[in-house]
Amino acid sequence: MTEEKKVEVPKKFEELVKNIEGLTVLELSELVKILEEKFGVSAVAPVAAPVAVAPAIEEVSGEKSEYIIELKETGDKKIEVIKAVRTITGQGLKEAKDLVDAVATGPQIVKEGVPTAEAKEAEKLLKEAGAVVDLK
């Protein structure tokens, strides 16, 4: 079990926090969506702009040996894309969801320095999930 973090809750928010603590994860997710729509905000932490990466080392044949996997669009099956990102990166659910959600603000780098075979497999996995992907 996770250890509960001790936070000082102001008296005026005690009842609200108590009510929120009684919600299920699904109910919390629904509440967050409602608040985002109502107030025109996002609960997703801002993601720093990707840093320019030096070109990958090219093999003797002239083909790249390493790729950057960039997620450009999520498509209609967002949950499937999140699952694919988790498989590719080994990230937790929250991190993968945050990355996929951040695509709404622009393309996001899923993974860098990926060998050719792994990059092609990741591209296939993401495309099967309905995403638009670019290998750089």
Token code pair at residue 14: 């005690």
How many whole angstroms separate alpha carbon 71 and alpha carbon 89?
13
Helix/strand number for the chain, H first, E second: 5, 3
Token code pair at residue 16: 């609200």
How many whole angstroms separate alpha carbon 135 and alpha carbon 66?
10
**Which pLDDT score is estimated for 20?**
86
Give the CATH architecture of domain 66-135.
2-Layer Sandwich (3.30)
| Sign of the CA dihedral running 92, 93, 95, 100 | positive
Neighbour tally for 54: CB within 10 Å: 5
**Residues in the chain, how many?**
136
How many whole angstroms separate alpha carbon 117 and alpha carbon 69?
12
Token code pair at residue 56: 């990958």
- Does the pTM surpass 0.85? The reply is no
**Which pLDDT score is estimated for 46?**
58
Domain extent listing, the chain: 7-43, 66-135
**Which pLDDT score is estimated for 56?**
42
Q: Which of 107, 100, 30 is nearest to 20 (CA)?
A: 30
Condensed to tens digits (0 to 9), the pLDDT of residues 5-55 reads 678 889 998 899 888 888 888 888 888 888 888 888 776 655 554 544 444
How many whole angstroms separate alpha carbon 71 and alpha carbon 9?
39
The model's confidence at residue 110, banded by pLDDT at 50, 70 and 90, is very high
Question: Average of pLDDT values for 102-112?
Answer: 93
Condensed to tens digits (0 to 9), the pLDDT of residues 47-75 reads 554 544 444 444 445 567 889 999 999 99
